[in-house]
Amino acid sequence: MEGANEVALFSLVQYDTLILVVLIIIQTIIVILLVVDWLNNYYVYQENSIIHHSGIITKKNFRYTLQNIEYIRYEKSIAGKIFDYGTIMIKDVLNSREFRMRNIHSPEEFVEKFEKDIKNLPNTFIKKQL
């Protein structure tokens, strides 16, 4: 009877180890996918426009010009206030859509820079609103 208990205990340990290894592999794959997505999803601010680069296999680039922006604002979660990051929301008049730049460090600095640059542009939608 003791031999049967030892075999059952040994096979249980094998299954636990197998399950642990499978879970570690799944977790590693998820982390790799998140990092690859993070590396291939970014924003560039140049020439009075914001360019959103995205995609791993099929690369996509979207350009939002500052002249066509209806509003720009930011928000921070509780964790964002502690670690100084947030989401910038920008409404593009031509596309009639709001796009969000997530997990931006010091979003208030970017919003101030955008607003300053927008005020220096001729014929912007924001100026017409003011």
What pLDDT score was predicted for residue 1? 47
Q: Are residues 56 and 72 in the same domain?
A: yes
Q: How many domains does the chain have?
A: 2
- Answer yes or no: do 55 and 104 share one domain: yes
Q: Per residue of the chain (130 residues), what is the pLDDT tens digit?
A: 454 555 555 565 677 788 888 999 999 999 998 888 888 888 888 878 888 888 877 888 888 888 888 888 999 999 999 999 999 999 888 878 888 888 889 999 989 988 888 887 776 555 455 4
114 and 88 both lie in a single domain = yes
Residue 109 is predicted with a pLDDT of 92
46 Cβ contact list (under 8 Å, min separation 6): none
Host H or E run for residue 27: helix 2-39
5/24 same-domain check: yes
Domain that holds residue 93: 42-129
The answer to whether residues 114 and 102 belong to one domain is: yes
pLDDT at 76: 95
From CA 98, how far away is CA 89, in angstroms rounded? 7
Same domain for 1 and 26, yes or no, is yes
Same domain for 78 and 25: no
pTM (2 d.p.): 0.66
pLDDT at 118: 80
Q: Are 94 and 59 within one domain? A: yes
Which residues are paired to 99 by β-bridges? Answer: 90
Domain holding 107: CATH number?
A: 2.30.29
Residues 47 and 20 in one domain: no
Q: Are residues 19 and 75 in the same domain?
A: no
Q: How far apart are CA 88 and CA 103, in angstroms?
A: 8
pLDDT of amino acid 124: 58
**Per-residue model confidence (pLDDT) at position 8:** 53
Residue 96 and residue 60 in one domain: yes
Q: How far apart are CA 76 and CA 54, in angstroms?
A: 23
